[in-house]
Structure 1
Amino acid sequence: MNTPFIRNHQYNIIKKQIGLLQNACNTVSDPKVVESVRYSAQHKIIEAFPDASELQKPLLEQAGSLRTTGEFQQYLHSLAPYMAPFPSLTAKQLAKLYPKVKKLKTPDLTAIDYRYVTYLGWVDIATNKLFIVYELNGKPVGIEGRYTPTNKGVCFLCNRHEEVALFSAVTKWRPANASPDYYKAIGNYLCVDSEACNRNITDVGALEKFIREVTGTPES
């Protein structure tokens, strides 16, 4: 039985390295250069799974032996059963994450392939708000904030040049001696299209740091 262990952002790392290796195999004539790319790709893939078991490592190491376009495609396809999906949530469960939001508008949850989701994000144009749901410490956490569309820029989550918006969320963390009217907002440039962001994200560090800062959740 296949035990899912590859999270979406880790799959994106594999996909990126496989793409680099495939390009080298197809365009570079110097065998030493190809082998250097091969070694680098395999190293970065293994590095992305520090907790991989002895049963999981052989699957990851297979990436270093691929040579043809068919093998690259087949390898990525073979990873599907090992993808650990983002926990699927119902509209009612999402509403509980935002108790102060009346008539929360949610995306079409039935159209989402949760294997390729690192975080759930959507925009409510009517209220000019952007919502993010992420599983932190084993529990879904929801944050909301104002978004101001801008031109293209670099998303702080996926580090890709995309259509972004300034996402500003009010932090729930308060200093010990804060006044009753204490207010602090945290802003970052974020992909407007969360699907594109989920296809590109390879590190959850910035996302988790942002959510902890907004929710006031300490590191475990």
Structure 2
Amino acid sequence: MEPTITAYEYSYITQQVNALVSAYLSVNDKRMRRVVRDTTVENIASHLPADEPIAQDFLQQLQPDRLTREAAAKLLPTIEPLVVPFPSLSQKQLSKLFRKVKKLKQPEWAGVDLHELTYLGWNDGGSQKKYLVAPYQDRLIGIQGDMGPKTVKGVCAICQTIGNVSLFVSTTKKSGLGTFTRNGNYICRDSAQCNRQLIDPQPLADFLEIVRPKR
């Protein structure tokens, strides 16, 4: 079985399933529930491989008229084998991405689900730094920046969702004359939550274009 679903597609499918469960809980009209279910199944099917038995079984399990939250929570992990996981990076590989960081704090890998990651992000509370590893032009790049201590409610530049965000500021080289500029955006403080909310990779690409180191 070849994984074909991206992490952001998996996030989209998860959101669709959760919305379906919410509709089942709030809509009493049987015909309307069927319309919502059929629309949801159609939306999800467009992101799944048509010839994969796991995918077809998943869609079949969405057919009951009353899908509970408990059933949905057990159902979603069944399609994880179809998701292309984020690379599991060694300490040496991470160090190469952050060559200027002498004491790089490692991510807490035990709490990381690689199938949910479009990008990898973690915080170093001691130094008020945030580190990001993300795909850029067919390779992984490392971005480091200062993470403001203040958390506010706002729209994340990466996942485009309202939540708990903080100001992330990176320093990028502006020209060959040794001048530098600082670029900042409000992003989710919790990168794992951000990934679960990310269903469109374009805002992430736009964010990386702004904050990545320039030569």
Q: Under TM normalisation by the shorter chain, which class is it? A: 0.7 to 0.9
In the alignment, what sits opposite 1:194? Answer: 191
CA offset at residue 28 of structure 1? 1.4
How many angstroms does 1:45 deviate by? 2.6
Contact 2:58–2:75 (CA under 8 A) maintained in structure 1: no
When residues 201 and 66 of structure 1 are mapped into structure 2, their CA distance, relative to the original with a 3 A threshold, is: farther
The corresponding residue for 2:107 is 107
Counterpart residue type for residue 165 of structure 1: S
Partner of 2:159: 158
| Structure 2, gaps ≥5 residues long | none
Contact 1:22–1:67 (CA under 8 A) maintained in structure 2: no
Q: 2:97 aligned with 1:97, yes or no?
A: yes
Q: Which position in structure 1 is the counterpart of 2:117?
A: 117
**Runs of 4+, deviation exceeding 6 Å:** none
Contact 1:163 1:191 (8 Å CA) reproduced:
yes
Amino acid at match of 1:185: R
**Amino acid of the residue matched to residue 106 of structure 1?**
Q
Q: Relative to structure 2, which stretch is displaced further, 25-34 or 117-126? A: 25-34
**CA distance in structure 1 between the aligned counterparts of 2:198 and 2:41, rounded to whole angstroms:** 19
Shift of 1:53: 4.8
What CA distance in whole angstroms lies between the structure 1 residues aligned with 2:89 and 2:80?
Answer: 21
Question: In the alignment, which residue of structure 2 is the partner of 1:168?
Answer: 169
The share of aligned pairs that are identical, in percent, is 33
Is this contact kept in 2: 1:155–1:191, CA < 8 A?
A: yes
How far did residue 27 of structure 1 move?
A: 3.2
Cα distance in 1 between the residues matched to 2:199 and 2:115: 14
Letter in 1 for 2:207: F
Question: Is the contact made by 1:18 and 1:63 (CA closer than 8 Å) also made in structure 2?
Answer: no
Aligned to 1:5: 4
Deviations 1:145-176 (A, max 9, x none): 1111232322222233322110011234x4xx
Q: What amino acid is the match of 1:5?
A: T
Deviation at 1:59, TM superposition (A): 6.2
SS where residue 107 of structure 2 aligns?
coil
| CA distance 1:77–1:67, change in 2 (3 Å) | farther
Q: Which of 146, 163, 180 is equivalent to 2:177?
A: 180
SS at match of 2:151: strand
Matched with 1:135 is: 135
* Structure 1 pair 68–34 and aligned structure 2 pair: CA distance change class (3 A): closer
1:55 aligns to 2:56 (yes or no): no
| 1:117–1:198 CA contact under 8 A, matched in 2 | yes
Q: C-alpha separation between the residues in 1 aligned to 2:153 and 2:25? A: 32
**In terms of mean alpha carbon deviation, does 153-162 or 120-129 score higher?**
153-162
Asked whether the equivalents of residues 132 and 143 of structure 1 are also in contact (C-alpha less than 8 Å), the reply is yes
- Counterpart amino acid of 2:155? V
Which moves more between the two structures, 146-155 or 64-73?
A: 64-73
So what's the TM-score if we normalise by structure 2?
0.82
What SS does the corresponding residue of 1:208 show, helix, strand or coil? helix
